[in-house]
Structure 1
Amino acid sequence: MKRIFAFLMLSAVLFIAGCGAHDGVVSKADVSWLSFVGDTRGAMVSIDDAAPFLLRPAGYDKKQPKPQWYEVSPGRHTVVITRNDAVIVHREVLVGTGQTKEILVP
């Protein structure tokens, strides 16, 4: 009788422990990317009035296997692209979390 009672108690404890809820939260990283396509030769870009930088060619390169994406925070950004001191693109873009916005450089 004691063995049956011990077996039932052990079974009940294992059953209750196995039925516990396991919750987890998965959240995406708060990053977005800008990609520049088109004629990027000699183009300088400034994002949100930051210091301008030279654009690298878009797409894949043999030396660098990753696409040329520029990481930004999600939200609204002002993008100004110049070439030879002339503004060729002045655009306000809105990018969501985990999204990549492609900007055409004429």
Structure 2
Amino acid sequence: MSVLLAKSSSVAASFRPTAANAILCFAVSSHHQGEKMAIGNAVQRGSYVYVYDEKGRQLYGKPAGSGPDDGLKGYTSGTVNIRRGSYIYTYDEKGVQRGSTPAR
């Protein structure tokens, strides 16, 4: 059995999988499928919240709000919660809003 490692036929490389290169096959395959990078850190600097991946690369920045209770409320490997006004907004690792809830 041979495995195709590239989508373009001009740069395609085929080889026979073995135990020695099985990990390489998986890593290349996962990368080409657009594997998500988890959130590694989120920090508030002034009126912005900056979100970084596990390698320290900035993923995105979002406004933190201007009220006394506004700003970064917490984060996990998959979401970031930011309070602005009377709502807490949840964003994913791509910066897409995934929900909101009234703040207490």
TM-score (norm 2): 0.29
Q: Which has the higher contact order (CA 8 A, sep 6+)?
A: 1
Output the TM-score relative to the length of structure 1: 0.28
